[in-house]
Amino acid sequence: MPDIPLKFSRAEYADRLQKTRRAMEEKGVDLLIVSDPSNMNWLTGYDGWSFYVHQAVIVPPEGEPIFFGRGMDAVGARFTAYLSEDNIIGYADDYVQNTAKHPMDLLSSILKDKGWGARRIGVEMDNYWFSARAFAALQAGLPDARFHDTTALVNWQRAVKSGAELDCMRKAGAIVTEMHRRIVEVIEPGMRKNDLVAEIYDAGIRGTADFGGDYPAIVPLLPSGREAAAAHLTWDDRPLKSGEGTFFEIAGCYNRYHCPLSRTVFLGKPPKVFVEGEKAVLEGMAAGLDAARAGNTCEEFAGAFYSVLAKYGIHKDGRTGYPIGVSYPPDWGERTMSLRPGDRTVLQPGMTFHFMTGLWSDEMGLEITETIAITDGAPELLANVPRKLFVKD
């Protein structure tokens, strides 16, 4: 094995691989092709901006995983993954965006050469990085294989964080704390929104005196005024206005581990809809956090929050949270559980969630959220930002 500075111990990577193989056995697959970059990172340590081309980590029946990617990215695998040289395979650059051939043609040949051409093979059918053409190429190149949909198989193994992972998320929480502190410090009427975003990025990347920040999987979301009724708008160069509220959905990131956190700032005197919304959300959050206990379900966690909103006559569409951890663009969620009615997944110590309590109406948006870790008792808050509507003249 190469002598490289790994983010986690080799023992932890071995444990992750063992967990994944147990899940493969339960699913009835012999070999796994993983194309989700978050899962690739979690399994091997590989970290690079290469997910815009076809790549994968292959988990064979025994032995180390195999990194398969563009030749120039195989170099990056040698610097970041714990894998031996024989298990890092790069493909030629003329496979990139070539209508005549596909990287999965080559991967099919490699798997056949290794004697795995007739295996039960799992692929992540419903994910951002595995295309229809990639699957068609695998089917054509491996006609004797039996393919199974293993979407989120690895994602589920990531649900309970190790102590080392939680340490990364606490550091991400310290970074997002600094990001929100910077927002409240510098925001004022007349400030161009893009200048404010520059401050957010500066705080997020600089991090703290003890550790720096990484790039987040989602860019800052910060619509203002009536546009804040839309949950996922970014920014422009217009100046901020008095008499408007702006919510900030941002995340600190450390070693690719995320801590999202949202707060809302109102410039001027907030109207009744903001004051009443804040009251309902804060009361609902307290109830939800009280239910965020090991042994309860995602549904019970969410239901405690929704029941308070109902008391105030507020209906919230959609889920009110999701698990988070290691991630790459375009999303920092783990794409497994959801905090909503019907999800009866049992909460376990070490699970981490963004408790997304945002409210959006025709006239405003209000986001005050927390990122938490489930413990044997009360949940741990991973950031330290006052839980309130910030008001600034």
What pLDDT digit, counting tens, does each position of 141-157 carry?
999 999 999 999 999 99
Q: Are 37 and 47 in contact (CB under 8 A)?
A: no
CATH no., domain 163-392: 3.90.230.10
- Average pLDDT rounded to a whole number, residues 303-327: 96
Closest by Cα among 222, 204, 203 to 262: 222
What is the arrangement of strands in the sheet containing 244-254, beginning at the earlier edge strand? 244-254, 257-267, 390-392
Q: Is 3 helix (H, G, I), strand (E, B) or coil?
A: coil
Q: Are 148 and 125 in contact (CB under 8 A)?
A: no
pLDDT band at 294 (very low <50, low <70, confident <90, very high): very high
Closest by Cα among 140, 81, 148 to 68: 81
- All CATH 3.40.350.10 domain ranges of the chain, comma separated, are 10-157
| Nearby residues of 302 by Cβ (< 8 Å), 6 or more positions away | 288, 319, 320, 321, 339, 340, 341, 343
Q: Which CATH architecture has domain 10-157?
A: 3-Layer(aba) Sandwich (3.40)
Judge whether residue 197 has pLDDT over 90: yes
Judge whether residue 276 has pLDDT over 80: yes
What pLDDT digit, counting tens, does each position of 62-91 carry?
999 999 999 999 999 999 999 999 999 999
- Average pLDDT rounded to a whole number, residues 103-110: 98
Judge whether residue 11 has pLDDT over 60: yes
Q: Are 122 and 25 in contact (CB under 8 A)?
A: no
What gap in Å lies between CA 298 and CA 385, rounded to an integer?
24
What is the arrangement of strands in the sheet containing 370-373, beginning at the earlier edge strand? 321-323, 352-355, 370-373, 380-381
- Average pLDDT rounded to a whole number, residues 169-192: 98
- Average pLDDT rounded to a whole number, residues 365-376: 98
Q: Is 337 helix (H, G, I), strand (E, B) or coil?
A: coil
Residues in the chain, overall count: 393
- Average pLDDT rounded to a whole number, residues 381-392: 98
Token pair of 158 as six digits: 């990531």
What gap in Å lies between CA 144 and CA 21, rounded to an integer?
22
> What is the pTM assigned to this prediction?
0.97
Q: Are 319 and 206 in contact (CB under 8 A)?
A: no
What gap in Å lies between CA 135 and CA 105, rounded to an integer?
10
pLDDT value for 178? 98
Judge whether residue 241 has pLDDT over 80: yes
pLDDT value for 317? 85
Strand 88-91 and strand 244-254: the pairing is unpaired
pLDDT value for 363? 87
Element (H, E) at 20: helix 10-27
- All CATH 3.90.230.10 domain ranges of the chain, comma separated, are 163-392
pLDDT band at 2 (very low <50, low <70, confident <90, very high): low
Mean predicted lDDT score pLDDT of the chain: 97
- Average pLDDT rounded to a whole number, residues 93-122: 97
Share of the chain above pLDDT 90, in %: 97
- Average pLDDT rounded to a whole number, residues 234-263: 98
What gap in Å lies between CA 50 and CA 48, rounded to an integer?
6
Phi, psi of 164 (to 5 degrees): -70, -35
Judge whether residue 1 has pLDDT over 60: no
Core vs surface per residue 93-116: b (16+ CB within 10 A) or e = eebeeeeeebbbbbbbebbeeeeb
What pLDDT digit, counting tens, does each position of 19-65 carry?
999 999 999 999 999 999 999 999 999 999 999 999 999 999 999 99
